[in-house]
A and B are shown apart, each in its own frame.
Chain A
Amino acid sequence: MQYHTPSSFSEAVNISNSADGLVKYLAGGTDVLVQLKIGTKSPDHLIDIKKIPGVKEIALREDGGWTIGAAVSGVQLTNHSKLSREWPGLVEGMELVGSAQIQSRATLVGNLCNGSPAADSVPGMITAGATVSVVSSSGTAEIRVEDIPVGPGLTNLGTGEIITAVNLPKRNKHEGDAYLRFIPRTEMDIAVVGCAVNLSLENGVIRSAKVVLGAVGPKVEVATPAAECLLGEKLDEDILSIFSDKCSELAKPISDKRGSEEFRKEVIGVIAKRAAKKAYDRALGNK
């Protein structure tokens, strides 16, 4: 295995395009090093992107949105008080990934590129309307986060395509997001089900909604029909119950060691309802 430390993304793309064999990128390494250790993926070339300027930065753009570099760690997100205030659902999703040790290294982009349907930070990125900047030999493109995962462990990214950053839109007043997951214990586990909700309100009425379900399909799923039940509503118990049923109906989980299909379909409804309530309260300005 050859280890590369390019000083720009264009250099990283060139290395990738001219390399023979399997190429992997290294940021936090919390998935890549495990794959290396257990031998599931044994790269011939490992491209460490952490020497590239800007990859560890969280920047407020002129349009009021945020750009989060590809190597920004979970701890950096948690410690960023303004970002955490604006996007608590996104940040709390990332915080659920692993231990304090993992949080020092793990990144949003790594969680996305690992392609797990149970990735805790991905639903919150999608409900936030986040995009990723993807650089390749043909230039830079901005792609919606929801268009990156295609199946378990699989993404839409081809050889020589590298995500450089996550872009969040400007946060407006009366908006709120939340992410909740179910695990059999309180910490250090992989989601059995997960759900992120992002709402924007006008006089307490839901004007736009985005809902994403995690760990109940081959990839994280955007639950548009569930989000549509919330539009024009104030989120009373009746609506929540319809919403909950809709999420259960949309979930297409498998049975595995973490939970049966039936269990997951039921619990996703409960978790989705709670996440919607939490997002709604945040949008109202209640903590």
Chain B
Amino acid sequence: MNKIHVKTNINGDQVEFLADPRETLLDCLRDHVGLTGSKEGCGTGDCGACSCIFDGDLVSSCLVLGVEAEGKSIETIEGMAGREELHPLQKKFIEMAALQCGFCTPGILVAAKALLEKNNNPTETEVRYWLAGNLCRCTGYDKIIKAVMETAKEIRETA
């Protein structure tokens, strides 16, 4: 099997890796680039634990091939916090205990950030529908939704 040389940009850094064309972007992030923040829950696009931003779009990285990343720009959970400070969503999730085991949390943070960047005043219904592709088996979702709503409010107030 011939591997393909992929050059891409991840969280602002130029990155290169060799990918078997059958490997997903998630496999490549975790196994070749060493970014293990994106998780594999289902591997079939149902759970959202591998959510990343792929050329500006929120995707499940298990449904993107690693070789498709050539020349693209990717944002993962590792790029979310600033050098010194956590992202407001990350801070709020800790403050409001919007996680338990934490396995779904990277995906939910990436997805919630994508929502707030396009709409910083979502209704609860909009947040719930937007996060319908992110499964959490611990929290019952309530604290997650509240933390996202609260962060949106904070972002609006400081804007």
Contacts and interface: CB of A to CB of B under 8 A. Distances in A.
B58 A101 contact: yes
A3 B67 contact: yes
A100 B65 contact: no
A33 B45 contact: yes
Contact of B65 (A2, A33, A38, A99): A33
Contact of A26 (B4, B65, B115): B65
B57 A105 contact: yes
Interface centre among B4, B48, B54, B65 (most CB of A within 10 A): B65
Interface in A2-49: 2-3, 26, 29-30, 33-34, 36-38, 46, 48
Contacts of A256: none
B133 A98 contact: yes
A102 B57 contact: no
B44 A101 contact: no
A33 B60 CA distance: 11
A73 interface: yes
B48 A101 contact: yes
Nearest to A50: B68
Given A98-B133, A101-B51, A30 B65 contact: no
A188 B51 CA distance: 16
Interface string A250-266: 00000000000000000
Interface in A46-84: 46, 48, 50, 73, 75
B21 A3 contact: yes
Contacts of A29: 63-65, 68
Interface string B61-84: 011110110000000000000000
A104 interface: yes
B153 interface: no
Contacts of A187: 129, 132
Contacts of B2: 2
A187 B129 CA distance: 7
B20 to A, nearest CB: 8
Contacts of A104: 54, 57-59
A52 to B, nearest CB: 14
Interface string B1-41: 11010000000000000000110100000000000000000
Nearest to A43: B22
B65 to A, nearest CB: 7
- Most A CB contacts (10 A, CB to CB) among B2, B59, B114 go to B59
Contacts of B63: 29-30, 33-34, 101-102, 105
A101 B65 contact: no
A100 B111 contact: yes
A206 to B, nearest CB: 33
Given A37-B44, A38-B44, A105 B59 contact: yes
B122 interface: no
Contacts of B24: 33, 37
Contacts of B48: 99, 101
A75 B57 contact: yes
Contacts of B111: 100-101
Given A33-B45, A102-B60, A105-B57, A46 B21 contact: yes
Interface of A: 1-3, 26, 29-30, 33-34, 36-38, 46, 48, 50, 73, 75, 98-102, 104-105, 187-188
14 contacts: A1-B1, A3-B21, A3-B67, A37-B43, A37-B44, A37-B62, A48-B68, A98-B45, A99-B60, A99-B133, A100-B58, A101-B111, A102-B63, A105-B63
